Amino acid sequence: MLYLYHRETRTKVLGPGERYVIWVQGCKKRCPGCINPEGRLEGQNGYWISTEKILAELKNEQGLMGITVSGGEPFLQAHGLAELVKSIKENTQLDIMLYSGYTLAELRAKHDKDINFVLEHSDILVDGEYIEELNNNTIYRGSDNQEIHFLSPRYRDFKDIIYNTHNRDLEFISRNGELFMIGIPEKGFEAKFKRAILERTNFFKEEEK
């Protein structure tokens, strides 16, 4: 079981190819400029979901490349995460990409069997806290202090391309009266977004006159 903030069955902006994404609820860090502050609350604001349910949804989606686990902090739920990783590896060919506010060295230093299992059976880890000043629009990374670890050989040949791509996309899902953003925004995005909404609102007001 995992306690999630959100999940989407298909996105193109958080890892290679089209991917299923889960956002785990709860994080102990408080990075200034965190794009998901609602996802930091521990034990509230989320919902429980079983490994079986996630696996069934994964299998139901055609043409996925992998699953991305973001947060919140995925490794605060290491046991549930290990259960999910084991099930994905046993039942699919999908790759596994993880985000964590802890560095790889910090995770290994915990000497936790579930954490070690997850690291041994995943393909990519993007690690470290988010530092707003180092947000340079680098693909997959919120800020350039974060490192992309190629834990398996699967994407190692693409390392240079990935590290030299300074271009990110965002996706917006409008569903049941709510708007959800997927991806890592550029520095100062919130102010730009608010300004764009305001300009559009003013435009429509003028049109109505």
CB of 32 to ligand SF4, least distance (A): 9
Q: Residue 63's CB: how many other CB atoms inside 10 A?
A: 7
Q: Is 31 in the site for ligand SF4 (CB under 6 A)?
A: yes
Among 15, 46, 66, 72, binds ligand SF4 (CB under 6 A): 72
Among 34, 58, 78, 126, binds ligand SF4 (CB under 6 A): 34
SS3 of residue 203 by DSSP: helix
Q: How many residues in the shown chain lie near ligand SF4 by CB under 6 A?
A: 13
Q: How would DSSP label each residue in the chain?
A: -EEEEEEEEEESSSSSSSEEEEEES--S---TT-S-GGGG-SSSS-EEE-HHHHHHHHHHSTT--EEEEESS-GGGGHHHHHHHHHHHHHH---EEEEEESS-HHHHHHT--HHHHHHHHT-SEEEES---GGG----TT-SSTTSEEEE-SGGGGGGHHHHHT------EEEEETTEEEEES-PPTTHHHHHHHHHHHHHHHHHHHH-
d(CA 165, CA 187): 16
Instruction: Name residues contacting ligand SF4, limited to 116-175 (CB under 6 A).
Output: 129-130
Give 41 or 162: the residue with its C-beta nearer to ligand SF4: 41
Considering only the stretches 23-31, 151-159, 181-189, 199-207, report the one whose residues sit in contact with ligand SF4 under the rule CB under 6 A. 23-31
Give 58 or 74: the residue with its C-beta nearer to ligand SF4: 74
Among 10, 29, 121, 149, binds ligand SF4 (CB under 6 A): 29
Q: Is 6 in the site for ligand SF4 (CB under 6 A)?
A: no
The dihedral sign for the CA sequence 79, 66, 109, 128: negative
Considering only the stretches 34-42, 55-63, 151-159, 189-197, report the one whose residues sit in contact with ligand SF4 under the rule CB under 6 A. 34-42
Give 73 or 123: the residue with its C-beta nearer to ligand SF4: 73
Among 3, 14, 20, 40, binds ligand SF4 (CB under 6 A): 40
| Number of residue whose CB is nearest ligand SF4 | 101
Contact residues: ligand SF4, CB under 6 A? 27, 29-31, 34, 36, 40, 71-73, 101, 129-130
